[in-house]
Structures are given as structure tokens and as C-alpha cells.
Amino acid sequence: MSRPSDHFDSPAPEPKVPGIAQPSLGLIGYLRFFWRQLTSMRTALVLLLMLAIAAVPGSLFPQRSSDPNGVTLYFSTNPTLAPVLDKFQLFDVYSSAWFSAIYLLLFISLIGCVIPRATHHVKALASPPPKTPARLDRLAAFSAFEVVPGETDASGDPITAASAIRAARAVLRKGGYRVRLFEGRELSASAERGYARETGNLVFHVALIGILFAVGIGGGFGYTGQKVLVVGQAFANVRLTFDSFNPGRFFTDDALVPYRLILNSFTTKYEQQNKDAYGQPIDYTAKVTTYDQAGTPTKSVIKVNDPLQIGGNQIYLLGNGYAPSITVRDPNGKVVYSEPVPFLPQDTNLTSLGIVKVPDGLSSQVGMRGIFYPTAAAAADGTLGSVYPDLQNPVLSLVLYSGDLGINKGQPKSVYTLNTDGMKELAGPTALDGTKALRLKPGQTAKIPGGLGSVTFDNKAPKSDPSNLEQSVPRFASLDVHRDPTQGWVLFFAICVLLGLLTSLFVPRRRVWVKAVELGDGRIRLEYAGLARGEDPGLDAAVRAIAEKHSHQLGLRLTR
């Protein structure tokens, strides 16, 4: 079968004779020996188990790929241990040298194993079944029956060894066997079926290689981009408009299909009936309009679990939150800043953090660190918290700083962090003059201490009933835009893996022989035997069924 030599179906190795020196191998000999070892079943097995073990640490330590914040946190809580772990690439397990080494070796072993088997199998497919063994009664699933002299078949002709074997061929062919007849002193039919088992096994292993390549190459040509859109905002599929953009190694800007997308509305639904899940989100819906290159608009909906397909991209709805709109005026009432600012949710009731930076227009740069509570409630000690994710009692609390924002020097700074070194706290818990943080409801304005101007928490639905603030603060949706040109290939190979597995595990591969022996006194002895290749619990039953069908074909019946 050209399987690895330590496959249990392969012939047992010759016992080593003590005392006889092995001939020295030479370079080619060593290479061949090494290759044999690498492509043996035992190596494949050990590498598989090593791969399983090597995957474990990735679930024990935070990984940069899936949880970068966790890694940062780990470094700050374990400052001595973390760098050591990092040396061993324990925060990048799945791209680490040692993990890669194991799976690359495994796949080299796999290729080295599959190629000889595939060539051998192609030959086997083209060659007829093997010669009938001399003694069938040594095989598993043996049975024999005798035909009494003078029996005739269904059409009235006498049964001979030749006619019996012809009938056997018909039965076996019908059962999906490939049949070859042998003449000589004893007539026999040799049959084999279930080549699909080996085919399935090869498809399975080759498709695994396919997945590895498709994943490896797909990562190189694809890209992912993130974009936070406040309701009403739009973005174009151009590299610069993304908040963050991660291109693969082989990515070029040509891969960006031009289109535009505008977020028309974002609605949420929270559980209100069930008190065990009060406030739990049950639906997020983003309604968008997209414009292709010709400017034709299309309306679509994006939901969690239901991405939008456009221009070779999938657009996923991965997060959402509030974007309080903030307006800053100078002492004369001139607007120097007016924007909706996406605030990052911190808990299930959407207590959210946001940063406002006002670099120009006031006599000093101003920074604000805000906490937004969609439904604010005060605890006993006076601190605020949010108790429901919808806008029932929206309150914005702002800590104000003046001084140098540190953004003039041209270094890019995250819009979600504020470095307050060298800034003066104007209002907040540690403000020198005791001014408390500002607390604003939608529509309210407060003076910025120090006569710098004023800040307004805009109400986006000023005309509605003042007791109903449900529309007062706009929402944002955070969209992930992906392109993975080989995703379809991965799926294709995965399906091949599954189908290959099913055929290889459940299609029995067997050889069956039927022999007709003329006993001289006119009796004919019919012998049946089978041989399983691989696991085959149904062999006995299959051989019995063939004997049954054969007797039926001959117009006889079996008696025991």
C-alpha cells in the first residue's frame, strides 16, 4: 500500500540480528534514513501530539493577536515575569518560532507521506484485483457451500463451475466490486471494492495542505480596516479614511474597490420585560446607504451575525456606543469646536469614556476627559453610575484641563488618550481651586473656568418633549471592513476535508474471493472469503450477503 513502514498494515520490520554490523550509511543513506523517520506514522503522531500541547500556552497567556490590551495589562501587573515570557514568544504563541516549527515539520511530513501514497494509489486504481490466494479458508470471513450434482440454474441449464463463477462476477459487479476472473484447476473470481477509502484519505490530507496554503496566502493579500461612524457620517473605501488599517504583506492600494457608505441610523433594543436580563441588548441594527463608483445608491442593513457584502469586502458591525455632541465657544460666543465625540463603552450599561481636545481658538489649549452615563443614578456616596443602557437620564461629566495638548509636535496621538502631564486641571476631583467636574444634561452649557469660554452638551433632538431625551445623544457604530480573497478557498478545502474524512472512515475497503472447486464426483464446492483493509467491522456480514445473493442468482438457497 506504500504506507509508512510503521503503519500497522505494512509488513513487520525484519528483526535485527545481533552481531552483524550495520553497513555504514553514507550521506545519501543518512538523508534517506532521516526522510524515512520524518515521514513515518510515529513521527506524524508525535508531531500531532506536540502541536496539541504547544497550543495550550496560547490559552493561558493573553495573545497580542487576539487580546493586545490583555498583554499590556499583563506587563504592568507582572513586570518581572512578562519580559521573560515574551522572550519565549508566549504572547505570540501561534506565530512563534517553536509553534511554527512543529506545524511546518508536520506538514513536510504530511507531504512526504502523501506523495508516495498518491502515486501508489493511482497505480492501484489502474490495476486489476490481485490473484486469488491458494487457500481461502485461512482468511477471515470464510464460508463454503456445496452444490449437489445435477442442480440446474434458474434457466434450467446445469450448474457448472464456470457458470457459477460467471454468476459470482455479476453479483460482485452489482455490489460495486471490480472483478477479475482466474482460470486454472480451480476457477475463481477476485474482487476488490472501496478504493474510495484511500482516495478519501488522500483528499483529506491534501485538503489540509490546501487549508494551510490558503490561510497563509490569504493573510498576505487581504486587509482589515476599522471605522467608527456616528449616525449621519459617511466613509469612503480609501486607506486614509479608516481609523486603523492592517494590510497584509502583499497588499496594494489597487485592492481597494471604490465605494462610499453612509450610516443613516443605528437602533438598539434592550430587554425590558424579563427582570433577570433587564437592559440586556437584544438587537442592534445599522441602516446604511452605499454608493458604488457610478454613484448609484443602495440601501442595506448591517447586523451582528449579518455582515454587508460590497466591493469584495465584508462589513461587520462589531461595536457601538454613544457619541455626545460637544460645542465649545470662546468668550465672545464664537464656536471654536463642535463635534460628536465617540465615547468608548466601559460596561454593559454603557458608562462610556471619551476625550475632547480643543487645540485652537481659545486663549489656551483645552483638553477634556468625559464620562457619559446614558441613565445616570447617584450612589449613596454621590458618585454617578449608569443603570440602563438607553437614554433615560443622560448625564455627561467633564474634567477640564488647560495647557499644552502635546499634539503640535506632529506625533500622531490616539484620539482616545489625553496626556495631562504639563496641563492644569481646571475642573475635576484634583483641581487646585476646588472646582468640581462639570455635570451637564443634553442642552446645557457651562462656563469653562478661568474665563476661557463655554462648553455645551448639545441636544440633538431639541424639539422633542424636554422630559424625553431618547434621541438627544447620537449613536455611533464601529464597523470592521475585511477583505480576504482566499476565504472561499479555505471553505472549499474545509469541505474537502470533511468529505474526505467521511469516505475514508466509513467506506469499507475489502477484497472478496469466490472460488468454485469441482470435487470430481459431480459436486461443486463454492468458497467465499474476504479480507479487510483497515477497520472493517462489517466484513463477515458482507461476505455472507454475497454468498446469499450468489445462491439466489444461481436459483438455489443456502442451508446450514
- The item of other proteins, ligand HEM, none sharing an interface with residue 39, based on CB under 5 to 8 Å by kind, is ligand HEM
Answer for the pair 338, 344: CB distance below 8 angstroms, yes or no.
no
- The item of ligand HEM, other proteins, none sharing an interface with residue 62, based on CB under 5 to 8 Å by kind, is other proteins
- The item of other proteins, ligand HEM, none sharing an interface with residue 52, based on CB under 5 to 8 Å by kind, is other proteins
Residue 99: CB minimum distance to ligand HEM, A: 14
Helix (H) or strand (E) run with residue 241 in it: none
Nearest to 449 by CA among 366, 369, 356, 382: 366
Answer for the pair 106, 51: CB distance below 8 angstroms, yes or no.
yes
Residue with cell 490559552: 59
Separation between Cα atoms, residue 87 and residue 19, nearest integer Å: 49
What are the Cα distances from residue 471, in Å, to 49, 209, 377?
Answer: 56, 53, 19
Among 1, 2, 38, 70, binds other proteins (CB under 8 A): 70
Among 16, 185, 299, 560, binds other proteins (CB under 8 A): 560
Dihedral angle computed from the Cα positions of residues 249, 253, 259 and 262, in that order, rounded to the nearest 10 degrees? 70
Answer for the pair 411, 486: CB distance below 8 angstroms, yes or no.
no
CB atoms near residue 461 (< 10 Å): 16
The smaller minimum CB distance to ligand HEM, of residues 55 and 384, is found at 55
- The item of other proteins, ligand HEM, none sharing an interface with residue 113, based on CB under 5 to 8 Å by kind, is ligand HEM
- 3-state SS of 176-187? CCEEEEECCCCE
Largest Cα separation within the chain, whole Å, is 127
In this structure, are strands 187-193 and 453-457 parallel, antiparallel, or unpaired? unpaired
What are the Cα distances from residue 167, in Å, to 142, 175, 188, 551, 559?
Answer: 19, 13, 11, 9, 19
The smaller minimum CB distance to other proteins, of residues 6 and 86, is found at 6
The smaller minimum CB distance to ligand HEM, of residues 95 and 241, is found at 95
Among 25, 34, 35, 48, binds other proteins (CB under 8 A): 48
Among 84, 236, 318, 545, binds other proteins (CB under 8 A): 318
- The item of other proteins, ligand HEM, none sharing an interface with residue 305, based on CB under 5 to 8 Å by kind, is other proteins
- The item of ligand HEM, other proteins, none sharing an interface with residue 537, based on CB under 5 to 8 Å by kind, is other proteins
Residue 557: CB minimum distance to other proteins, A: 7
Per CB under 8 A, contacts with other proteins among 441-460 are none
Q: Which stretch binds other proteins (CB under 8 A): 83-91, 123-131, 300-308, 423-431?
A: 300-308
Residue nearest to ligand HEM (CB): 113
- The item of other proteins, ligand HEM, none sharing an interface with residue 110, based on CB under 5 to 8 Å by kind, is ligand HEM
Size, binding site for other proteins by CB under 8 A: 78
By CB under 8 A, residue 526 contacts other proteins: yes
Q: Coil, helix or strand for 372?
A: strand
Residue 535: CB minimum distance to other proteins, A: 7
What are the Cα distances from residue 342, in Å, to 366, 388, 474?
Answer: 18, 19, 9
Among 148, 257, 335, 378, binds other proteins (CB under 8 A): 148
What are the Cα distances from residue 204, in Å, to 51, 208, 410, 442, 503?
Answer: 19, 6, 54, 61, 9
By CB under 8 A, residue 49 contacts other proteins: yes
Residue 104: CB minimum distance to ligand HEM, A: 11
The smaller minimum CB distance to other proteins, of residues 280 and 464, is found at 280
Separation between Cα atoms, residue 116 and residue 434, nearest integer Å: 81
- Give me the residues that bind ligand HEM (CB under 6 A), please: 3-4, 7, 39-41, 44, 48, 106, 109-110, 113, 201, 204-205, 208, 501, 504-505, 534
The smaller minimum CB distance to ligand HEM, of residues 202 and 286, is found at 202
Residue 341: CB minimum distance to other proteins, A: 25
Residue 389: CB minimum distance to other proteins, A: 12
Separation between Cα atoms, residue 216 and residue 31, nearest integer Å: 29
Separation between Cα atoms, residue 74 and residue 400, nearest integer Å: 31
By CB under 8 A, residue 122 contacts other proteins: no
By CB under 8 A, residue 12 contacts other proteins: yes
The smaller minimum CB distance to ligand HEM, of residues 109 and 237, is found at 109
Among 194, 307, 394, 474, binds other proteins (CB under 8 A): 307
Separation between Cα atoms, residue 372 and residue 383, nearest integer Å: 13
By CB under 8 A, residue 200 contacts other proteins: no
- Radius of gyration of the chain measured on its C-alpha atoms: 38
User: Checking phi first, is residue 216 left (phi over 0); if not, alpha (psi -120 to 50) or beta?
Assistant: alpha
The smaller minimum CB distance to other proteins, of residues 7 and 413, is found at 7
By CB under 8 A, residue 498 contacts other proteins: yes
Among 38, 108, 170, 215, binds other proteins (CB under 8 A): 215
Answer for the pair 389, 477: CB distance below 8 angstroms, yes or no.
no
Among 494, 518, 533, 553, binds other proteins (CB under 8 A): 494
Residue 194: CB minimum distance to ligand HEM, A: 12
- 3-state SS of 432-464? CCCCCCEEECCCCEEEECCCCEEEEECCCCCCC
The smaller minimum CB distance to ligand HEM, of residues 13 and 429, is found at 13
Under DSSP, the state recorded for 347 is S
Amino acid occupying residue 175 = G
The smaller minimum CB distance to ligand HEM, of residues 210 and 374, is found at 210
By CB under 8 A, residue 245 contacts other proteins: no
Answer for the pair 405, 337: CB distance below 8 angstroms, yes or no.
no
Separation between Cα atoms, residue 223 and residue 382, nearest integer Å: 47
